[in-house]
Amino acid sequence: MLQELKQSLIASAWFVFLTFPLLAVRVNTTEQLVEWRLMNMLWVALATFFLSYLWRHALARKQARTKVAEDGSEKQSRTRLLMEDMSFRYKAMGVLLVFALVFPLIFDSYQVNIMNLALIYVVLGLGLNISVGLAGLLDLGYIAFFGVGAYSYGLLNHHFDLGFWAVLPVGGILGCLFGVVLGFPILRLRGDYLAIVTLGFGMIFQIVLQNWSDFTMGMAGISKIDYPGLFGMDMGIPGTIKYIYYIMLALVVFTILVTMRLRNSRIGRAWIALREDEIACVAMGIDMARTKLSAYALGAFWAGMIGVLFAAKQAYINPASFGFMESAIVLSIVVLGGMGSILGVILGAFILILLPEYLRAFAEYRMLAFGAAMVLMMIFRPQGLISNIRQKYEYQGNLKEETDNG
Amino acid sequence: MDWSYFLELFLSGLTRGSIYALIALGYTMVYGIIQLINFAHGEIYMIGAFVALIVAGICTIYGFTGVSVLILAAIAAVIYSSAYGYTLEKIAYRPLRGAPRLSPLISAIGMSIFLQNYVLLVQTPDFLPFPNLIPDFAFMEPVAHIIGSPELVILVTTVVTMILLTLLIKKTKVGKAMRATQQDMSMARLVGINVDRIISLTFVIGSSLAAIGGVLVASYIGQVNFFIGFLAGVKAFTAAVLGGIGSIPGAVIGGLVLGWTESFAAGYVSSDYEDVFAFGLLVLILILRPAGILGKARKQKV
């Protein structure tokens, strides 16, 4: 106990030292003012004192857990058993779908609009989940494909007056095409290099958007993009928001269905195998190039499609929406929710997008919390909130008898 | 060919390049030992610059000026950056040793976002003017139109730091232990090297180099904000990869090549696309020669 106290005190003192200049002092060099905020130090001392206690316990628990897991006596939790129960899953999905369908009828346009935003991130998360979660290709420039979709609608609508429905598949295909073109040269790269190159691509994309004013209209962005039309009906703003909501919902359901089927398909299992062990996977006769490219391109496809919808929803786009921070948000959705898990990613998107919207007071701490959450998740729960359930095939007959006979 | 313009670009590339090299060393050393891209390294650099700004700000407001302030600010920056680097490793990377490769990388990205927003929240989202701490030397006057005192200070500091670092790694016992850890961690542990301490030390050294870079850049460019670390970090990483990650002379060569590329591209082609050239170079080098200029291609063993 005394030992614990001592360790916490040391940690507390260390963090007070660490945060002292940044937290306690603020200088204004133009007006020659120094602002001392020594009260902050007290909070840091108190907070780190208790947090360090928690931290050590969490680490100790984690270690104990890995020991148990090594013994092979891991018990299945009840929620987990419930999730594996198919009839429960279908019932829950039915309830959720009905709720989603009546949602815009119950709530006002403001709520529906926020939900639209969250649904965009659901689709983005599910798309990125294909490359990061399933195939293990860390993509830090994912938002560029989203930008490709948004700009293809923005530009085609601006110059050629093309409608939303015509551009929707075009956006998806263009995103996909970009994915293949960018994916080709980087197939050989290992995980961390891949992350940096995709980050580079993302940055280049944004810089080009900002500076190529003749084509992309630069920083000013594209405004007055048409809302999606429904046989030329005029629905007004609330009607349009609801209409967009239903399009979005349809797209989300479509995405969920496709990724769910993909995950259990031949190519999906190839992705997972590639993520687990590249060399073994290639040795089993899986075409690495094709598998990686397809993961990349399919992820990009969803981003392109939802980009078109994003442009239609906002009616205005500019390069600021397609920066690294957006990529980081989508990545933290996937990481927080659980890499590879569809339900987890959906939950992650709702938590990360809706929580800051409703807790306005904490909105400015949003990115701080995201960053901390990414670190903590990796350390304590790398599988995410809801871990991906691998399909298991159990042998039906009596194994012992057969070996006895054989 | 306009030679004075060429010379100007050459020198500005050299200055930039040596800063990139200073930051790149941190990446290279960490990568060499634990094969991790320390994404938060750019943030350590930014924190160094901020601490220097705060110390220098307090000093100037209370009436101190001159070289002593620069030295004091630099020392504070080095102390704090290395403390942050040490803590960063202990919190975000050490518990993940032995985890799948993607985990520490994501943790590093998270830490980078966290530190950026931490500085944003507790300090300011605006650009802060950084006092010019590097004095104009009298003996530099005859050549002042070609190379100014700040550039000279940056170049000299970089060269001296490189020499000290090389000596540390090649000649001292600690350096030997670092090299041993780099080659084979479990073997190093067997011969009695405290691997955890060596890794911490690597972070401390890398972070203090970044802090020196931060102070120099901040007083050269004249402003800091919470986001400067990100771009500088990515570019320094480019430099490290360019020269061959894990190799110390490689980081220097990579930094210089990157500095010149940017400088000449901005001068002769278009300054709007300066960053595009840097990232383009990164993408090209990773695709064509992932091992870098001085790096050895590692055979993949099964």
pLDDT digits (tens, 9 = 90+) for A52-67: 888 888 888 888 877 7
Provide the CATH number for the domain around residue A347: 1.10.3470
User: Which residues constitute the domain of residue B222?
Assistant: 13-288
* A373 pLDDT more than 70: yes
* Nearest Cα residue to B174 out of B148, B149, B154, B202: B202
pLDDT of residue B144: 66
Give per-10-residue mean pLDDT for chain B (302 aa).
81 88 88 85 91 86 78 91 92 85 86 90 82 72 72 87 88 90 88 90 92 87 83 86 82 90 84 81 80 67 53
pLDDT of residue A43: 84
The rounded Cα A269 to chain-centroid distance in angstroms is 21
pLDDT of residue A73: 46
Under 8 Å between Cβ of A126 and A280: no
pLDDT of residue A76: 55
Residue B183 lies in a domain: yes
Under 8 Å between Cβ of A401 and A355: no
Q: Which of B55, B92, B117 sits opposite A367 (nearest CB)?
A: B117
Residue B97 lies in a domain: yes
Residue A390 lies in a domain: no
**Range with the poorest average pLDDT among A189-198, A324-333, B276-285:** A189-198
Indicate which of B106, B116, B223, B245 best probes the interface with A, i.e. most A CBs within 10 Å of its own CB.
Answer: B106
Q: Is A375 on the interface with B (CB under 8 A)?
A: yes
Residues of chain A above pLDDT 70, percent: 88
The distance between the two most distant Cα atoms of chain B, rounded to a whole number of Å, is: 64
Residue B93 lies in a domain: yes
Residue B41 lies in a domain: yes
Mean pLDDT of chain A: 81
Note whether B110 contacts A371, CB cutoff 8 Å: yes
**Phi/psi class of residue B64: alpha, beta or left (left: φ > 0; alpha: ψ in -120 to 50)?**
beta
Note whether B60 contacts A29, CB cutoff 8 Å: yes
**Range with the poorest average pLDDT among A169-178, A252-261, B26-35, B281-290:** B281-290
Distance CA A121, CA A148 (A): 16
In degrees rounded to 5, what are phi and psi of residue B298? -90, 130
pLDDT of residue A69: 63
Write out chain B residues lying below 8 Å of A19, CB-based: 122
- The answer to whether residues A200 and A54 belong to one domain is no
- The answer to whether residues A213 and A345 belong to one domain is yes
pLDDT of residue A124: 92
DSSP string, A38-72: THHHHHHHHHHHHHHHHHHHHHHHHHHHHHHHHHT
Provide the 3-class DSSP secondary structure of residue A283: helix
pLDDT of residue B75: 92
- The answer to whether residues A215 and A167 belong to one domain is yes
HEC-encoded secondary structure of B87-147: HHHHHHHHHHCCCCCHHHHHHHHHHHHHHHHHHHHHCCCCCEECCCCCCCCHHHHHHCCCC
Residue B64 lies in a domain: yes
pLDDT of residue A161: 76
The rounded Cα A32 to chain-centroid distance in angstroms is 44
Write out chain B residues lying below 8 Å of A368, CB-based: 113-114, 117-118, 121
**Phi/psi class of residue A315: alpha, beta or left (left: φ > 0; alpha: ψ in -120 to 50)?**
left
Average pLDDT of the segment spanning A125-129: 91
User: Which residues constitute the domain of residue A100?
Assistant: 89-380
Q: How many domains does chain A have?
A: 2
**Residues in contact with A70: Cβ distance below 8 Å, sequence separation at least 6, in sequence order:** none
Q: Which of A59, A200, A375 sits opposite B111 (nearest CB)?
A: A375
Provide the CATH number for the domain around residue B215: 1.10.3470
- The answer to whether residues A261 and A210 belong to one domain is yes
Average pLDDT of the segment spanning A198-209: 87
- The answer to whether residues A42 and A187 belong to one domain is no
- The answer to whether residues A194 and A294 belong to one domain is yes
pLDDT of residue A389: 66
Residue B297 lies in a domain: no
- The answer to whether residues A225 and A129 belong to one domain is yes
Q: What pTM value is reported for the model?
A: 0.86
**Residues in contact with B145: Cβ distance below 8 Å, sequence separation at least 6, in sequence order:** none
Q: What are the tokens at B181?
A: 């850890």
Its ipTM equals 0.85
pLDDT of residue B85: 93
pLDDT of residue A406: 45
- The answer to whether residues A249 and A125 belong to one domain is yes
17-36 of A, contacting B, C-beta below 8 A: 17-19, 21-23, 25-30, 32-34
Residue B4 lies in a domain: no
Residue A385 lies in a domain: no
Residue B7 lies in a domain: no
pLDDT of residue B301: 54
* A109 pLDDT more than 90: no
Q: How many domains does chain B have?
A: 1
- The answer to whether residues A60 and A95 belong to one domain is no
Note whether A21 contacts B112, CB cutoff 8 Å: no
Q: Which residues pair with B224 in a beta bridge?
A: B128
Q: What are the tokens at A250?
A: 């349809």
Residue A403 lies in a domain: no
Residue A243 lies in a domain: yes
**Residues in contact with A223: Cβ distance below 8 Å, sequence separation at least 6, in sequence order:** A315, A316
- The answer to whether residues A99 and A237 belong to one domain is yes
Write out chain A residues lying below 8 Å of B301, CB-based: none
